[in-house]
Amino acid sequence: MAHRKEHRRAEGRGTPYADALTAFTERVRLVTPDQWDAPTPCADWTVRDLVNHLTGEQLWVPELLMGSTIAEVGTRFDGDVLGDDPVGAWTAASAAARDAFAVPGSTELTVHLSFGDVSGQYYLDQLTADAVVHAWDLAEGIGRLTRLPDDLVDFALAEYTGYGDLSGSGLFDPPLPVPDDAGPQTRMLALTGRRDRP
């Protein structure tokens, strides 16, 4: 990814990634027992499915930063990774992932992803943007905290703008048109095929 924010801080706590995980955590802790099966803006994903997806992503982080390949990790993190304690599973996985990226030099490592080798920085930026948009998905699913922190919105907007049309990946709906005066969160969500609410 060519985009690099000039104000980007060093690895570890206080980074956009750590802040995005915190934002997601805030919303996970607001999920009530009857909301785990509630729908989200992600097609076919309930609140539990969404939290399971992002938890699984964080479980991969220490493995991939240590040089493991997708094949070497295999199916270890497939299926349900939340068990009987979704909040605890998310908290543990996100803390381990944050700690892995806090190791000096982690962003210079080569990470073996499914589509090829990338830098640790590229992987970090991708995870950060993903956590931001999914924090909104979760907020919509539970009806709480649907306005995201401005700095995280700006980060994700810049990342997704740099990716171009994301629908070609099969992971996103086509981008949506927005008014010229649309705010950053509306524009960021529109790039991922999501419609922000006024």
- Determine the pLDDT at residue 169: 63
Cβ(153)–Cβ(184) below 8 Å: yes
Kindly state the percentage of the chain with pLDDT values over 90. Answer: 81
Say which residue, 184 or 6, is predicted with more confidence.
184
pLDDT at position 1 over 60: no
Average the pLDDT over 5-32 and give the result. 78
Average the pLDDT over 11-16 and give the result. 66
Q: How would residue 14 be classed by pLDDT, with cut points 50, 70 and 90?
A: confident
- Determine the pLDDT at residue 167: 67
99-151 pLDDT per residue, tens: 999 999 999 999 999 889 999 999 999 999 999 999 999 999 999 999 999 99
Q: How far apart are CA 139 and CA 41, in angstroms?
A: 10
Q: How would residue 172 be classed by pLDDT, with cut points 50, 70 and 90?
A: confident
- Determine the pLDDT at residue 195: 92
34-57 pLDDT per residue, tens: 999 999 999 889 999 999 999 999
pTM above 0.75, yes or no: yes
**Residue 117 phi/psi, 5° resolution?**
-85, 135
For the chain, how many helices (H) and strands (E)? 7, 2
Average pLDDT along the chain: 90
Neighbours of 179 (CB within 10 A): 8
Q: How would residue 12 be classed by pLDDT, with cut points 50, 70 and 90?
A: very low
pLDDT at position 2 over 50: no
Cβ(54)–Cβ(131) below 8 Å: yes
Residue type, 142: I
Q: How far apart are CA 180 and CA 182, in angstroms?
A: 6
Q: Which domains does the chain have, with CATH numbers?
A: 16-158 (1.20.120.450)
Q: Looking at the DSSP assignment, which residues form a beta bridge with residue 110?
A: 119
